[in-house]
Amino acid sequence: MKLNTPVSVQWLSTLTNAEIIGNQQLEISGVNEIHQVEKGDIVFVDHPKYYNTCLNSDACCIIINDKTVSIPEGKALLYCEDPFEAYLKIVQHFKPIVATTKSISEDAVIGEGTIIMPNTFIGPNVKMGKNCIIHPNVSILADTIIGDEVIIQANTVIGSDAFYYNTKKNRQDWYKKLLSCGRVIVEDKVEIGAGCTIDRGVSGDTIIGRGCKLDNMIHVGHDTQIEPNCLFAAGVAIAGGVKIKQGVTLWGQVGVTKTITIGENVTVLGHSGVTGSLEANKVYMGFPAEEASIVKRQYVWIRRIPELWKKVMTP
């Protein structure tokens, strides 16, 4: 999430009740989590496993619960006991939940020739291009950006919160919600089927690239970035932080795990489970998904097991 106006690290220190260590003169221009961090951002970390990743990222300021770490030159730490809670304070300040009373928010920008059918909700700060068709009962939530000639079928939700929780077993509430302050960007000529759900980024953007076609009942998780001209059949479920390159085809009920990359022009056959990154220009199938030619040979040998067993057991 980029801030409308940069703020000083001293101001954030006061907001979060945190101690500044390092560069006292920093200006912070964005709020992010580690998977989407950019230059000028502030990021939080509360586990030693990720200290070095955050400290050596593009973030200029790190909210952290250890003041003994080595600070890279020019950066600052905001030290506090609970970085997660400090991060939530910042998000709540800059992106509070605002109650809306109208089906189409007054500040929504809707392009010429766009058709919006009954019972559609369009939230605050939504921007929609020309000649779109939005079918009944669609919800387009705050800060979503939609390009030209986009079609969204009935009962789809764009911009719902990320499924993202801070998990700790030493407190009463094991799963503490990480507030979402990111966006969904749907580029030109995208078609989204009925009953789909596309989560906003935690702090960055979920992107559906130009010309992508999504069938019914598809889920796209937070911060997933889909490049142009991909085709997804019904029932596909994609977790958060996935990068899908251009020209990818996912057939029915494919499941994709988080934070992996699917190379360009990949095809994944139906009912497959993608548990790791996939190389470009290949066809995959099975669980875990492997090259289809390999899996098909395995199936041939599996079918021969009874015959082979009979030969082994025959005296």
Report, as residue numbers or ranges, the catalytic residues.
222
Please, is 312 exposed, middle or buried when counting C-beta atoms within 10 Å of its C-beta (0-12, 13-18, 19+)?
A: exposed
Residue pair 75/165 in contact (Cβ under 8 Å)? The answer is no
- Joined tokens for residue 163: 């499924």
Count the Cβ atoms, other than its own, within 10 Å of residue 134.
Answer: 24
The counts of H helices and E strands in the chain are 5, 34
Euclidean distance between CA atoms 157 and 264, whole angstroms: 27
Cα–Cα dist 313/309, whole Å:
6
- Amino acid making up residue 201: G
Please state, in angstroms and rounded to a whole number, the distance separating the CA atoms of residues 284 and 295. 8
Q: Helix 305-313 and helix 292-303: axis angle, to 10°?
A: 40
Query: How far is the C-alpha of 167 from the C-alpha of 123, rounded, in Å?
Result: 30
